[in-house]
A and B are shown apart, each in its own frame.
Chain A
Amino acid sequence: MKHLLNFNLGMAVLSFFVHLAAPVALAGEFPDPVQLLHSMDANLQFDTRTSITTMQVVDSRHTREYRMLTHARGLDEAAVEYLSPEREKGTKMLKLGDNLWLYLPRSERVQKISGHMLRQGMMGSDISYEDLMQGTDFEDMYEATVKAEDLLDGRPCWKLEAIARDDTVSYPRRVLWIDEEWLIPSRQELYALSGMLLKVWTMTEVREIAGRQVPMLMEIEDKLKQGSRTVLRIEDLQFGVDLEDEVFSQRWLERR
Chain B
Amino acid sequence: MMVLWIKLAIRNALRNLRRTMLPAATVMFGVALVVVALSWIEGIMGDMIESNAAASGHARILDTDYVAREQLQPLEEHIANVAPLLDRVRALPQVLDAQPVITTGVVITASDEIGDDFCVLQGGTRDWYEKHLEAPEKLVAGRWLSAEKGEVVLGRKIASQIHAGPGDEVLLLGRTYYGSMSDTKARIVGIVAGDAMLNLQAFLPLEEVQWITDIPGGAIQVLVWSRGTDARYVGPLVQALRGLDGMDGLVVQAWYDVEPWNMVVGMIGAIKAFMQFLIVFVAALAIFNTMTMSVLERTAEIGVMRAMGLTRMGALGLFLVEAICIGLLGGVAGAALGALPAWYLAVHGVTLGEELADTVGASLPMKATFYASLTPGILLGAVVLGAAIAVLGAILPALRAASIQPVVAMRVRR
Contacts and interface: CB of A to CB of B under 8 A. Distances in A.
A150 B183 CA distance: 46
Contacts of B182: 87
A106 B180 contact: no
B178 A107 contact: no
What is the predominant secondary structure among interface residues of chain B facing chain A? strand
B87 interface: no
Given A107-B171, A110-B112, A117 B107 contact: yes
Contact of B112 (A62, A112, A117): A112
Contact of A111 (B113, B184, B214): B113
B253 interface: no
A88 B182 CA distance: 8
A113 interface: yes
B258 to A, nearest CB: 24
Interface string A93-120: 0000000001010111111111111100
A115 B185 contact: no
B376 interface: no
B185 A109 contact: yes
Interface string B171-186: 1010110111111110
A114 B171 contact: no
B76 A61 contact: yes
Given A111-B171, A113-B114, A117-B107, A88 B181 contact: yes
Contacts of B118: 116
A8 interface: no
B221 interface: no
A122 B115 CA distance: 13
Nearest to A113: B115
Contacts of B180: 64, 87-88, 123-124
Nearest to B186: A107
A113 B175 CA distance: 16
Interface string B93-137: 000000000000001010011111010000000000000000000
A47 B113 CA distance: 30
Interface in B195-249: 214
A143 interface: no
Interface residues of B, number: 22
Interface residues of A, number: 27
A70 interface: no
Contact of A116 (B112, B113, B116, B183): B116
A117 B179 contact: no
B249 to A, nearest CB: 14
Interface string A113-142: 111111001111000000000000000000
B177 to A, nearest CB: 9
A59 interface: yes
Interface string A31-49: 0000000000000000000
Contacts of B109: 111
A251 to B, nearest CB: 15
A76 B180 CA distance: 26
A97 B76 CA distance: 36
Contacts of A88: 180-181
A106 B115 contact: no
A130 B183 CA distance: 20
A54 interface: no
Contacts of B183: 104, 106-107, 109
Contacts of B116: 114-117
A102 B116 CA distance: 15
A57 B185 CA distance: 26
21 contacts: A61-B76, A61-B178, A62-B76, A64-B178, A87-B176, A87-B180, A88-B180, A110-B112, A111-B112, A111-B114, A111-B173, A112-B112, A113-B114, A114-B114, A117-B107, A117-B114, A118-B115, A121-B179, A122-B181, A123-B180, A124-B176
Given A88-B181, A110-B112, A123-B180, 4 more contacts: A61-B178, A64-B180, A108-B185, A116-B118
